[in-house]
Amino acid sequence: MKTFLTHIPLFLTLMLTIACGEDRTYEYEEKTRHSHWMQEQMQDKYLWADSLKDFEPTWKNYFAEPEAFLEVLVARSKQGDEWSYVEIDTLQEDSHERGYFNHLDSYGLDFILMSDPTGQTTRQVLRVVTVYPDSPAERVGLKRNDFICSYNGYKFSKSNVSKLQKGVARKLEVRHVGVDAQEGFFFWEDTLEVSIGASEYVEDVPFPVWNVVETDGVTVGYLMCTRLVEYPIEKENRRGSSPVYREMMDEVMKEMKNEGVDELVLDLRLCNYGTLEMAQRLASYVVSPDARGGLFAATFWNEKYSGNNLELPYDVSLDNLGLSRIYILTSSYTRGAAEWLIHGLRHSMGEENVITIGTETKGQNVMTEEVGDQYYVRLFPVVAYVGDGDGNYEYDEIEPTIEVNEFDFLSLDEYGSVNETLFSVALQTILGNGQNGGE
């Protein structure tokens, strides 16, 4: 069988020559070369490369688009791999998009589709959950907890909700919900018409919000992290670029240190992407001082690339905040580097000192890496497990210490506000009013 498959090009050439009187070998090679290249890379660098060693896809598989062909390969591993991916140079798609937010082409907001919160109609509306800095949505004044009821006069449904993901300039009907305290019902407070500009590239700034608050004599720092990355631009354009986001993290931590924070709330509910090195750096700032001499994480590659296996210690050269515990906000978006960070800290500090608040995380215990760029395809397969300081990589979703679904509440205050649902729960917990009070 294997010998037969290796001669598919010759076989097809013969059949096509007989049928059409011409040699179409080049046409076959042109249309399938990306698949053959992807298969070679996966058989070499994929974490579960052994599962592909003798794998022989059908000749039809080779004609599939890159995303579809990758699905064929990862299915063979039987590992439930949902993390490997490809990027096509000719498309403007964000491989790490967050809900309806695609930073390469977006209005700069994320939202959820829901029924009319007032119960007055059977209409569906969009509830704005995130507005990103320097975006069309921010420039037009949209905020968290705005309700968008229509666009250009059209009502929303599952079939057209993507119209607010990207596209041309649109007119939006925006409303806000009020509550009658005496009668206990919701009502629409107002109706505004907002004109939003066309979608565009929106830089997903990794540290968009941070502040320090004083409450009952306790100095509490708050830091939102959406991505654990060093650069704002793509890899191939980094020549001469400084690691501006690493520098931003360092500056924020310096300010936190100067403010003398007693407790830190790290908001990772939107953090769905990043590098192990940046996770290690952030962990080195916030881990308890007595654990700094240990390991943060370890990686485990396939047998051929076992020489790439790493043990990453905490960086003792950084000015540690001196915390005894940390509070971390999570959601279903929280994955990858954010989860490696949580697992590493829990191993080093003890689970009781790494208190998670929110909802269950995604459960990514592996890392991906770009292994090549050919035929307009950039391939990012899973290449290694990421374990904690003990090398334990057998973990799944992180269950929250305190489970809170922010979307169950009427209010969605701005991130970092003391009235914002998850941050408020963290503050109550810090002050001893929650399930894990301070000492």
Residue 92 confidence (pLDDT):
73
C-alpha 262/C-alpha 428 separation (Å) is 14
Residue 231 confidence (pLDDT):
87
184 or 170, which is more confident? Answer: 170
Query: What's the rounded mean pLDDT across residues 19-26?
Result: 54
Query: What's the rounded mean pLDDT across residues 425-434?
Result: 86
Tens-digit pLDDT profile for residues 355-374: 999 999 999 999 999 998 88
Residue 438 confidence (pLDDT):
42
When pLDDT is cut at 50, 70 and 90, the band that residue 24 belongs to is: low
Spatial CB neighbours of 244, under 8 Å, sequence gap ≥ 6: 230, 231, 232
Query: What's the rounded mean pLDDT across residues 342-352?
Result: 97
Residue 22 confidence (pLDDT):
57
Residue 233 confidence (pLDDT):
62
In this prediction, what percent of the chain has a pLDDT beyond 70? Answer: 89
Query: What's the rounded mean pLDDT across residues 72-95?
Result: 90
Residue 105 confidence (pLDDT):
94
pTM exceeds cut of 0.85 = yes
Ordered strands of the 295-301 beta sheet:
311-313, 295-301, 382-387, 366-368
What angle (nearest 5°) sits at the alpha carbon of residue 185, between those of residues 182 and 190? Answer: 105
242 or 301, which is more confident? Answer: 301
When pLDDT is cut at 50, 70 and 90, the band that residue 6 belongs to is: very low
Whole-Å CA distances, 72 to 67, 297, 397:
9, 31, 25
C-alpha 272/C-alpha 170 separation (Å) is 29
In this prediction, what percent of the chain has a pLDDT beyond 90? Answer: 80
Residue 28 confidence (pLDDT):
59
Residue 182 confidence (pLDDT):
79
Sign of torsion over alpha carbons 31, 36, 41, 47 = positive
Tens-digit pLDDT profile for residues 260-286: 999 999 999 999 999 999 999 999 999
Query: What's the rounded mean pLDDT across residues 185-193?
Result: 91
Residue 384 confidence (pLDDT):
98
When pLDDT is cut at 50, 70 and 90, the band that residue 185 belongs to is: confident
Contact (CB, 8 A) for 303 and 43? no
Across the chain, mean pLDDT equals 90
**Residue 229 in this model has a pLDDT that exceeds 90:** yes
Tokens of 190: 């107002």
**Residue 296 in this model has a pLDDT that exceeds 60:** yes
Sign of torsion over alpha carbons 378, 247, 423, 108 = negative
Residue 153 confidence (pLDDT):
93
Residue 327 confidence (pLDDT):
98
Spatial CB neighbours of 252, under 8 Å, sequence gap ≥ 6: 207, 210, 223
**Residue 183 in this model has a pLDDT that exceeds 80:** no
Q: Write the burial class of residue 300 (CB in 10 Å: 0-12 exposed, 13-18 middle, 19+ buried).
A: middle
| Ordered structural domains, the chain, with CATH | 2-81 (no CATH), 109-196 (2.30.42.10), 210-235+242-369+380-430 (3.90.226.10)
**Residue 234 in this model has a pLDDT that exceeds 70:** no
CA 367 to chain centre: 13
Residue 203 confidence (pLDDT):
93
Contact (CB, 8 A) for 289 and 322? yes
Neighbouring CB atoms inside 10 A of 13's CB total 19
Tens-digit pLDDT profile for residues 36-58: 999 999 999 999 999 999 999 99
Q: Which amino acid is at 324?
A: S
